[in-house]
Structure 1
Amino acid sequence: MSIQSHLQELKRRHAAIEQELSRELAHPAADPVRVAELKRKKLVLKDQITKLHGPTTVH
């Protein structure tokens, strides 16, 4: 798997978790444990995506 295809897969999974999180939060009896789990997974994916993009400099 190339880096580019891996990056696309990570972005796809990130978007899917975002949708799932939105659905969970829209539910009146949202499970706080499930919400926290989804947020953690989303953050892990975002960190992986950022690492694949390489270092960025902020001026």
Structure 2
Amino acid sequence: MQTAHYTALEAKHASLDARIADEQGRPAPDQAAIAELKKRKLRLKEEMSGG
């Protein structure tokens, strides 16, 4: 069960990466949205590392 949870976290992390890249690729990226996505990504990374 632990592995399934970690795999789900990795998938969410990759999804956030893609959303950040999409937003940064726009002609006028929303910096507030990018900052929020990066915060969410960091929280996931901390959870993945056991923190």
TM-score (norm 2): 0.95
Unaligned runs of 5+ in 2: none
Between the aligned residues of both structures, percent identity stands at: 31
Tell me the CA shift for residue 31 of structure 1.
Answer: 0.4
Matched residue pairs, number? 51
Superposed CA RMSD in Å reads: 1.1
Return the alpha-carbon distance in structure 2 between the equivalents of residues 28 and 36 of structure 1.
17
Tell me the CA shift for residue 41 of structure 1.
Answer: 0.4
- In structure 1, the partner of 2:23 is 24
**Secondary structure at the residue paired with 1:51?**
coil
TM-score (norm 1): 0.83
Runs (4+) of structure 1 exceeding 3 A deviation are none
- In structure 1, the partner of 2:7 is 8
Q: Which amino acid aligns with 1:41?
A: R
Larger Rg computed on CA atoms = 1
Unaligned runs of 5+ in 1: 53-59
